[in-house]
Each structure stands twice: as structure tokens, then as C-alpha cells.
Amino acid sequence: MRRETFILIVMPALFAFGFILGKKSNKESPGAVDRNAKVGFPQDGQATKFQGADSEPKQSVSRVVYNAGTVSTERFQGDIGRALMQAIEEPNLMKRLSVLAGLLGELNEDNLDEVLAAFEKIPVSFETMQEYRLLMYAWGQFDAPSAIQFMRKKAGGGPAIWFSASAAMSGWSAQDPQAAIDWANEQDDRRMMGSYNMGIVSGWVTKDVNAAAEYVTSLDRSRESGRMLSTVSTEMLKQGRQVATAWAEGLEDEGFKEDAFRSLTRSMAREDVDGVANWLQKHVNQKYSDESFDELAEQWSRQDPEASLNYFLSLPEGSSQKEGVIESVQTWVHKDVEAAGEWINKQNPGSSTDLAVFSYAREVARENPESAVEWAASIQDSDLKQKGLVEVGQRWFREDAEAAKAWLPNSGLPEEAIKAVENPPRHDWRGGGGRGPGGGR
């Protein structure tokens, strides 16, 4: 299978990105499609038509044939439109998409009308987003602007235009990223720039990951740029962990560095928490690594919470230890509240153990507030102790105001903290893992 065809199948992140963005707006303006219009880009004072990688007419197309569980290819005798009509009727999703990918890999200006006629049978919906993503990527390789305009008219706006624009720009960028960038920068609707850029980066990384990474870091940092860096990180890891980590460490912007570290940690920790722990230990108590330590703790504590806590308790005091201990306890409580409490009770008192007690108290407060306040009261650090008592007290007050009021006079809290308990915020912080051992520490 050609590389372009393979890319067509592995683009789910584009739809997720587009679907989220699409909720922001459902008022895109439809426009007519002029399939004969030339798309020009200024170059040496002349407008030139952007050509795709394969513009030669095809007399026949490759068709994937499924026979007794095996895959082979044969020449399909007939036009591409008829082949697509047959593929669309295939009830098996994997077979249908595989055949469509192969057929759309042959898409060009000469057979475009036939292909679009076949797609008239496919409504634009969440269930058919894979089919349209394939079409947009294939069309984008030789005329992304017309592909995007087509979807504006067909879908009328909403999530479909966002994910389709990303797919089309991805196909374009895989061929000519600079032309895709230039066109995107000329567009008036700036709300679409996140979708355009996500598509540009997803197509570009397969061509030149370093250039794509440089482009992302030239943008303003945002949630969208964080997703783009995640795409870059995934491609960097294909070149090896040393290459990927060296790239992240070399980023000058602290925000982008934070995003890259978090993305690499999330990916690498799924297979090698020890290796990630050794790498991150060189970046202890750095602002750009705080969320990475939190990510490591979440994944490690799912596998081996004791090992995770032992690691974080051994770190120097600071933000890295705090993030890791609190997250490890949270995850462990959700998995086995009794075991987590028993383990904490065996630890020697100290500032790092206080963090574990604080996290445990918050997590058990919903199911057993009486136990939670006893745990919080055992914290040695006075500031953390008050913070813990206020938070579990607020949780208790929301659940059972009368019982919480009866506890407050003997809580040891100052007047200002008592008022905070009696006026809890409407939102609730993370927690509710279980009942926990009674009596605290």
C-alpha cells in the first residue's frame, strides 16, 4: 500500500480535534464549488496552479479483494465511480474503508466528478466522518481549497467543516507545506486557523518533522498548539527516545517545552515508567516538568502504586514531589482505598508523608468525612493541615451541613477558616475514592 494511502487510514486525531473545535461555531457560510477554477499562488509575480503528486489520468484503478481472510489486489475493470459505489455498499467498516482508501489513492482532477457523484450517496454525519476524511485528504493533495469549499456547501458548517478542513490541509501539506501555510494565512476566517494548522502539521511531520516542529513553536501557544506538539512528539519518538528527549530539552520557550515534556512522558510511560522516571529526574522542580511528573505518577501508580510513591518520596522537596505524591495517592485510593491507607500509616512522619495524608484525606472525604477530617488533622505542617481540614470540611458541609457544623467548634480551625468551610464553592474538587480506614493515622 502506498504511503499516501496508509496516511488516509490513520488520521483519527484530526476528527477529534475538529469535532471539539466545531462545537464553537455552527455558522460557517456555504459557498459554491468551481471545480474548474485554478488555485494560484504568487511566485515571481506569476500565478501558478498547484499540482498534486499524481495528475496523470487513470484508465483503471486498484481494488482490494477480500477472499477467505486474505488480502490481494486485482485490476478493477471499469470507472472509479462504479467501483466506489460498490465499496460504499460494503457493510464491514474495515473492508469498506480499506477499499475506499485504495480507490481514493487514485483520485485526480480527471475523475473527481465521478468520485463526488458516488459520495452523493453518503450523508455527512458523525458515522460517516471516516469516509469523508479519506476523500478530503485525497482531494487535498492536489486542490485543498476546493475540497474545503465543497464541504462548506455540503455540510453547511459545524464539526464537519472543521475535521474536513484539517484532513484536506494534511493532504496538501504532505505535498507542499509552504503553499498550504501561505493559503491559510490569506484566509479571512481566523476561527479556522486552528483546524488548518492542525492539518498542516499532521501532514508535514511525515515529510519533515523538524520543520513541522519549528513551525508549531513559531505560533502562539494555545490548546491547539499543544495538540500539534503532541503530533510532533509522536513522530519524534519514531526516530528514537534520545532524539525525542533531546528535541524537547532543546526547546527555548518554557510553555512549548512543558507541552513537549508532557506529551513525551504520556507516550513513553505507557511502556517504560522506569526509563521516564530516570529522564525526568534530571528535570526535578522545574516549572516545565511539573505536569510531566503528574503524568508519570498517574500512569505508574496504576501499575505499581508503592513503587510510584517510593520514587516520589525520594525526590527533593518541591513541586515535582508534590505533584507525584498527590497524584499517586489519588490513583491508588480509586483502586484500593484500604491498601493505600495502610501503606501511608506505615510511613515515617515528615513533609513528604504529609502530602500523602493530605491527598488521602481529600479522596475519602465524600464517603467518610469523619475519617477524612481525622486524617487531615494528623498532618504535621500547619499550613497544609489547615488547607486539608478546610477542603474536607467543605466537602462534608456540602453533603451534611448539620454534621459538619457540629464538628467545626472542635476542629481547631481559626475563625476565617471556619467561615470558608461554611461557605463551600459550588464546584467540587477531585475525589471520592472510598471510605478509607477509620481513625486516621
Q: Decide if 413 is inside a domain.
A: yes
* Same-domain status, 371 and 303: no
Q: Could you read off the pLDDT of 300-332 as tens digits, one per residue?
A: 999 999 999 999 999 999 999 999 999 999 999
End-of-domain residue from the set 156, 186, 216? 186
List alpha helices for 36-157, DSSP H: 80-88, 93-104, 112-119, 129-155
pLDDT at position 62 over 90:
no
Tens of pLDDT, residue by residue over 76-104, are 334 888 889 888 888 998 999 999 999 99
Q: For residue 4, is pLDDT > 90?
A: no
Cβ atoms of residues 217 and 50 within 8 Å: no
Residues 307 and 351 in one domain: no
Q: Is residue 37 part of a domain?
A: no
Buried b (16+ CB within 10 A) or exposed e, 115-150: bbebbeeeebeeeebbbbbbbbbbbbbbbbbbbbbb
Could you give the CA distance from residue 151 to residue 175 in angstroms, rounded to a whole number? 21
Mean pLDDT of 124-151: 94
Range of the structural domain that residue 217 is part of:
208-314
The residue from 134, 156, 186 where one domain ends is 186
Nine-digit cell string for 293: 511528573
125's CB contacts (< 8 A; 6+ apart) are: none
**Rounded to whole angstroms, how far apart are CA atoms 88 and 60?**
18
Please indicate, yes or no, if residue 46 is contained in any of the structural domains: no
Task: Express each pLDDT in 31-55 by its tens digit.
Answer: 333 433 333 333 333 323 333 333 3
Q: Would residue 191 count as lying in a domain? A: no
- Which residues are registered as beta bridge partners of 64? 73
Same domain, 9 and 133: yes
Do 288 and 343 belong together in one domain?
no
**Domain assignment present for 327:** no
Same domain, 124 and 213: no
Give the total number of structural domains in the chain.
3
> Which of 302, 295, 301, 298 has the alpha carbon at shortest distance from 279?
295
- Residue 392 clears pLDDT 50, i.e. is over it: yes
Highest mean pLDDT among 25-29, 159-163, 232-236, 426-430: 232-236
Q: What is the pLDDT of residue 431?
A: 43
Q: What is the rounded CA–CA span in Å between residue 39 and residue 97?
A: 29
Q: Both 394 and 426 in a single domain?
A: yes
Task: Tell whether 122 and 60 lie within a shared domain.
Answer: yes
Based on the domain organization, do 68 and 180 belong to the same domain? yes
Please give the DSSP secondary-structure letter assigned to residue 244.
H
- For residue 39, being part of any structural domain is answered with no
Q: Do both 219 and 179 map to the same domain?
A: no
* Residue 330 counted as domain residue: no
Residue 365 half-sphere exposure toward CB, CA atoms < 13 A = 30
Evaluate whether residue 32 is within a structural domain.
no
My answer on whether 175 and 118 are in the same domain is: yes
* 245 shares its domain with 116: no
Q: What are 346-365's pLDDT values in tens digits?
A: 999 889 899 999 999 999 99
Helix then strand count (H, E) for the chain reads 23, 4
Distance of alpha carbon 34 from alpha carbon 39, whole angstroms: 10
Q: Is residue 342 pLDDT above 50, yes or no?
A: yes
C-alpha cell recorded at residue 297: 505518577
Give 440's pLDDT tier (boundaries 50, 70, 90).
low
Q: Which of 77, 153, 89 is nearest to 118 (CA)?
A: 89
Q: Rounded to an integer, what distance in angstroms lies between the CA atom of residue 116 and that of residue 41?
A: 26
The rounded distance, in Å, linking the Cα atoms of 315 and 322 is 10
Last residue of a domain, one of 314, 349, 376: 314
To 10 degrees, what angle do helices 319-335 and 351-364 make?
40
Residue 280 and residue 344 in one domain: no
Could you tell me the CA-to-CA distances from 150 to 136, 145, 302, 407 in Å, in that order?
A: 10, 9, 46, 65
